[in-house]
Structures are given as C-alpha cells and as structure tokens.
C-alpha cells in the first residue's frame, strides 16, 4: 500500500532538522559521549615518559638483568646467552595466560607506578626446524608435560633436582621438568642474590621494596628515584618454531595476513608454569604464544586497542571475585573479533565506543555459553571448567555494565586518575635529582646515560613487548649487553 502524500511531505520536511545523535540501543548512551570518555581514559592511562623517568626505567631494567646474571653464576643452571621477552604490563594485566587466583593483589598508584613481565627461559629448544611435538598424553588441551629426554646428559644432571621422576617397567627413569620446583628454585636463587647485593649497596642502586613468590611467578617491586616498578618474572621453557598441536591454525585466514609475515608470527612459543583446572601442578605447563601476540598487536587499530584497555579496566574491578575471567580472556576475544570483522570497519578512528560495547557483548556471550576458545588452539575452551553459578554471576554483572557503560567508564577514569595522583604525590616527596645507573661511580649523570635514557624511552613508548636477546658475562655481571630486535643498546 502506498504511503499517503501528506506523510511524504512530512518526511521531506524532516530533512532540514539536525540529525539525531547516534545512541546505543541497549543503554540509551550517546555514542559520541562514550567515545569522549574512552579518549579521556586513554589520556590518563597512557603517560609520557620524560628523560628522568626513562633513566629510572633503564636503571631498574639494568638491575634486573644484572641480578639474573648473578642467578646464572650461582649454579650455572640458566643459559649464559639467554633471550628474554619483556612485556609492558604485569601478569595481572593479562599479558600472559597465567591463572590469577594465586597472585597477591597489587594496585597501580598504591604499590607500583609501572609494571612489566619478563619471561626468562630456564631451558631452550632452539635447534628445531620441524613442528615441535610435545608430550600431551597426560594433559588437558593447551598444556604439556616436558621430559628432559629431549636434552643432553649435562642438562639432565643440572636440572634433575627440579624434576618429578617416573620409573618405567623396563627400568628406565624419566625426568619431567616441574614448573613448581623450577619456580621454587628460581625464587630461592633470586632471594640469595638479592641478599648478597643488599650487603654491598651502591649509590644509585634501586631499592628492593618487595620480593614475593606468587604461585609460580616471582614479583619484585623496585624503587628507583621517584618511581616504583613491578617486575613479574616468569620462568619458562623457550622453543623456536611452532607446536604441532597449533599447526591447523596456520591453515586458516587471519586478520594479519599480508600485514606481517608468517615467519614473524611463528618464530617461537613458550611453556609457562601454569596447569589446567584438573592438571597435576608439579608436572603440567601451559603453552604460551606471547611472542606471536606481540607481533599481532602491531596489526590492531589504535581505536580497538583503546576500547580493549578501557574494557579491561572495567572488568578487572568488576569481575575480580570469584576469580574466573582474566584480561587474557578478553584479549583472546579481541583477536577473534579481528578475524571476524572487516579490517576497514575495525580501522575506524571514531568507532571506539562501538568496539567497547562489542567487547562487552562478546564477553557476556562467552560467559552465557561457557565458551571461550583459545585463539591459537581453538579446540581448547578456556572457560570449560567454570561452574554454571559462576558464569551466570559474572554475566549478570556484565549486564549492569551494558545497561550503563558511561557510568562504568567514568568510574574507570576516576580509578586511573586516583592512581596517577598517588604516583605524583610520591614523586613530589621523592628526589628530584638525576638517578645514576648502578654501574656508575655515583658521579654526575653523563651524556651516554642521557642518550641511553632517550633510546629506552623510545623502546618503552613505541616498541613494547619486543624480544630482548641478552648476553651476560658471568665474570662481569654488572654489564649486560642486549639487543632489542634489530636495535642495539
């Protein structure tokens, strides 16, 4: 039936009126307002580092690397020429897939100002060109035991005290590398080294404010000048190549195709000290693709990353009890969204609000269906172990966010502003003078240190999460030499 002529005339007249503001259907929030709130959150969450702060970051990094050199010298267990992965953000920020229920709660502003995660290989398997086959017979998906049969007799002898022993009927003995025993050894070794360092303090040396074992990671908070830096140090097993269990993932189409090479994405993976819900803690490691995720992050638009960071800030507070959802789950959902949605849509700079609302919807969908596939091993459901009561409790909490996203964004902004105020207050109380490097003799800060500070500032602000190759001379642990991808320092 045709529309009446009067209706047509009326509709024509509406063209002269200003367009109605775009609204979120569920909450009624103005999309423009949500975009502005996300931008405000980003402004307060991402801070610029001046030369003084960059030099303090360098001093703390230098101290951690020197400490690890002394740990290697202690009993020669760690490789002399090692390759660390330095990630911006602590374990609690979801930069690696490790369970958070065993970790003490640290708060930015109250306990630390900046946080990093450092993956430190205890063992390396770097001479393999074919897909790496792991012993997954005893483990849940995405987990593995690690037999030292893959290594030489010298390595077995060195590490057998950090293994669980299984005797076979034929009389053979198999040593399985134990994540809990490795973490215990690492914590004890770091404690010994820090005790020795503190007996002979040097001018400009960071103050060790806290050393704690959190499950299988070691958390160290250093005070350097007016800064407090949290390092979550994770002992890992490092592999070159790609695990056979994730080989089928390479056959699929992905959002990063054509933007970065496959060689960059599959250059290596790790086993991190974390077990499955029903796994044996003393034996089971979890596969981690942190090195690949650093590369994939380059292909994610800034507006989507802003939405992700804002959403993460909301859920860390809201879904903290009981511990069921971690920021790593949200990261996985974001990667799946990148594969699912058109690149030109995700590149829209004015769509941060749409992305935030979409991430909340995705997370709620995953909870209601108790299904969150691992991005690299989709057959692994990371929410499978949760009870119906837990997932529904968190889904209801997310429903409240979805009903009023603007209010939850304002709360997240207030939290980050409060953390920044605490940091500034500490800086006002602290020293305003330059902090010499631990290697220096305590004299005036020299030009090379200034240049190094600027280089490090570039590292932190432009290249977070780069792979750092480190060579430490056991006879001179005060001078670590390291390379960040193709940049030398």
Half-sphere exposure of 384 (CA within 13 A, CB side): 13
Mean pLDDT calculated for residue range 119-142: 82
Residue 112 has pLDDT above 70, yes or no: yes
Alpha-carbon span 164 to 284, nearest angstrom: 11
Residue 448 has pLDDT above 70, yes or no: no
pLDDT tens for 405-446 read 999 999 999 999 999 998 888 777 764 333 333 333 333 333
Burial code (b: 16+ CB inside 10 Å, e: under 16) for 120-133 equals bbbbbbeeeeeebe
Q: Are 132 and 247 in contact (CB under 8 A)?
A: no
Chain position carrying tokens 């966010």: 401
Q: Are 391 and 325 in contact (CB under 8 A)?
A: no
Question: CA separation (Å) from 131 to 127, 239, 250, 271?
Answer: 11, 10, 12, 15
- The pLDDT score that the predictor gives to residue 480 is 43
pLDDT tens for 25-45 read 988 999 999 999 999 999 999
Alpha-carbon span 219 to 213, nearest angstrom: 6
Q: Are 415 and 45 in contact (CB under 8 A)?
A: no
Q: What is the pTM of this model?
A: 0.83
SS3 category, 258: coil
Residue 207 has pLDDT above 90, yes or no: yes
Contacts of 144 (CB under 8 A, 6+ apart): 134, 135, 136, 271, 284, 285, 287
Residue 51 has pLDDT above 80, yes or no: no
- The pLDDT score that the predictor gives to residue 4 is 44
Question: CA separation (Å) from 20 to 14, 16, 17, 142, 270?
Answer: 11, 12, 9, 49, 51
Mean pLDDT calculated for residue range 201-230: 92
For the chain, the maximum distance between any two Cα atoms, rounded to a whole number of angstroms, is 95
User: Is the peptide bond prior to 425 cis by the omega test (within 30 degrees of 0)?
Assistant: no
Give the residue from 368, 285, 372 showing the smallest Cα distance to 327.
372
Question: CA separation (Å) from 40 to 34, 349, 351, 409, 414?
Answer: 10, 15, 15, 9, 10
Q: Are 436 and 443 in contact (CB under 8 A)?
A: yes
Alpha-carbon span 264 to 269, nearest angstrom: 12
- The pLDDT score that the predictor gives to residue 102 is 79
Residue 381 has pLDDT above 90, yes or no: yes
Question: CA separation (Å) from 397 to 320, 356, 367, 392?
Answer: 11, 16, 11, 9
- The pLDDT score that the predictor gives to residue 332 is 96
Mean pLDDT calculated for residue range 340-362: 96
Please give the structure tokens belonging to residue 234: 């994770």
Share of residues in the chain with pLDDT > 70 (%)? 81
Q: Are 142 and 269 in contact (CB under 8 A)?
A: no
Comparing 54-63, 194-203, 309-318, 440-449, the range with the smallest average pLDDT is: 440-449
Residue 182 has pLDDT above 70, yes or no: yes
- Tell me which of 1.10.530.10, 3.40.50.620, 3.40.50.150, 3.30.460.90 is the CATH number of domain 31-426: 3.30.460.90
Please give the structure tokens belonging to residue 383: 């929410």
Query: Average model confidence (pLDDT) for the chain?
Result: 84
Please give the structure tokens belonging to residue 357: 């609302």
pLDDT category of residue 324 using cuts at 50, 70 and 90: confident
For the four alpha carbons of 188, 202, 58 and 227, in that order, the dihedral sign comes to: positive
Mean pLDDT calculated for residue range 119-141: 82
């Amino acid at each position: 039936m045709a529309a009446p002529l009067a209706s047509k005339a009326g509709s024509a007249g509406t063209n002269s009126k200003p367009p109605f503001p775009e609204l979120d259907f569920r909450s009624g929030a103005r999309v423009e307002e949500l975009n502005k709130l996300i931008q405000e959150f980003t402004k307060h969450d991402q801070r610029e580092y001046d030369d003084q702060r960059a030099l303090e970051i360098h001093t703390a990094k230098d101290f951690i690397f020197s400490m690890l050199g002394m740990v290697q010298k202690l009993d020669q267990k760690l490789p002399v020429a090692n390759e660390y992965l330095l990630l911006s953000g602590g374990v609690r920020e979801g930069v690696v897939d490790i369970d958070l229920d065993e970790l003490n709660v640290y708060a930015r502003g109250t306990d630390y100002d900046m946080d990093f995660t450092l993956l430190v290989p205890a063992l390396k398997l770097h001479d393999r060109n074919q897909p790496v086959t792991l012993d997954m017979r005893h483990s849940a998906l995405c987990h593995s035991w690690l037999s030292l049969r893959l290594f030489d007799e010298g390595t077995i002898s060195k590490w057998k005290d950090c293994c669980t022993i299984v005797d076979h009927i034929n009389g053979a003995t198999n040593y399985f590398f134990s994540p809990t025993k490795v973490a215990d050894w690492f914590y004890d070794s770091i404690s010994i080294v820090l005790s020795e360092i503190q007996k002979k303090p040097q001018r400009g040396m960071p103050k060790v404010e806290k050393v704690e074992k959190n499950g299988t990671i070691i958390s160290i908070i250093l005070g350097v000048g007016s800064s407090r830096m949290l390092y979550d140090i994770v002992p890992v097993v490092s592999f070159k190549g790609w695990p056979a269990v994730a080989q089928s993932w390479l056959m699929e189409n992905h959002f990063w195709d054509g933007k970065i090479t496959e060689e960059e994405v599959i250059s290596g993976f790790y086993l991190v000290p974390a077990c499955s819900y029903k796994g044996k803690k003393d034996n089971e490691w979890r596969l981690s693709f942190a090195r690949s995720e650093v590369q994939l992050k380059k292909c994610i638009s800034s507006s989507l990353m802003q939405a992700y960071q804002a959403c993460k800030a909301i859920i860390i507070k809201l879904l903290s009890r009981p511990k069921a959802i971690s920021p790593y789950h949200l990261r996985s959902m974001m990667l799946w969204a990148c594969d699912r949605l058109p690149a030109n849509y995700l590149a829209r700079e004015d769509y941060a609000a749409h992305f935030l609302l979409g991430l909340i919807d995705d997370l709620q969908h995953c909870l209601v269906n108790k299904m969150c596939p691992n991005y690299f091993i989709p057959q692994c459901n990371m929410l499978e172990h949760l009870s119906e009561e837990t997932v529904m409790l968190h889904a209801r909490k997310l429903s409240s966010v979805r009903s009023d996203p603007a209010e939850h964004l304002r709360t997240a902004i207030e939290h980050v502003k409060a953390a920044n105020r605490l940091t500034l207050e500490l800086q006002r109380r602290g020293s305003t003078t330059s902090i010499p490097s631990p290697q220096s003799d305590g004299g005036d800060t020299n030009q090379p240190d200034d240049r190094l500070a600027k280089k490090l500032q570039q590292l932190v602000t432009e290249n977070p999460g780069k792979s750092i190759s480190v060579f430490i001379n056991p006879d001179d642990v005060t001078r670590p030499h390291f390379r960040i991808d193709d940049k030398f320092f």
